[in-house]
Amino acid sequence: MPCYTSKLPVGRYSEMMGDHGTKVTICGRLGKHCADCGDVGHNLCDYPVGARGRTCDRPICNDHSHQVGPNMHYCETHFRMWQKTAERQGVLPLDL
Ligand SMILES: [Zn+2]
Ligand SMILES: [Zn+2]
């Protein structure tokens, strides 16, 4: 059974303590690990790569995924690329 390093959601108390989530270990069949940490890869990067509508498909956790639209997530690297392109074109990315 695979194990994951996840974080407890940041609540009032942990915010007061300047804590950004307490690490917890969870085990179970929860799918792929995040490509950037040991958390559960809840989302897949939807950044288009190459032809034929292929996408990056990198598994990314909620922390490392960036929502760019309804049901659209980009991984860290692709989010930065996307942001740069948007800035160049004078289109500011939506602040989601
Ligand atoms: Zn992650
Ligand atoms: Zn990606």
Q: Taking a C-beta distance cutoff of 8 angstroms, is the pair 59, 51 a contact?
A: no
pLDDT of residue 48: 93
Cα dist. 90→85, 87, 93 in Å? 9, 5, 9
pLDDT tens for the chain, residues 1 to 96? 899 999 876 566 656 666 666 788 999 999 999 999 999 999 999 999 988 889 999 999 999 999 999 999 999 999 999 999 888 988 765 555
Residue 88, helix vs strand vs coil: helix
Q: Taking a C-beta distance cutoff of 8 angstroms, is the pair 37, 63 a contact?
A: yes
Ligand nearest to the CA of 55: 2
pLDDT of residue 50: 87
pLDDT of residue 23: 85
Ligand nearest to the CA of 74: 2
pLDDT of residue 21: 66
Expressed in angstroms and rounded, the spacing between residue 75 Cα and the centre of ligand 2 is: 4
Ligand nearest to the CA of 65: 1
pLDDT of residue 19: 64
pLDDT of residue 18: 66
Ligand nearest to the CA of 73: 2
- Between β-strands 3-7 and 59-60, what pairing exists: parallel, antiparallel or unpaired? unpaired
List Cβ neighbours of 82 (8 Å cut-off, separation of 6 or more).
47, 68, 74, 93
The CA distance from 32 to 58, in Å, is 10
pLDDT of residue 22: 78
Expressed in angstroms and rounded, the spacing between residue 58 Cα and the centre of ligand 2 is: 6
Ligand nearest to the CA of 6: 1
Expressed in angstroms and rounded, the spacing between residue 43 Cα and the centre of ligand 1 is: 10
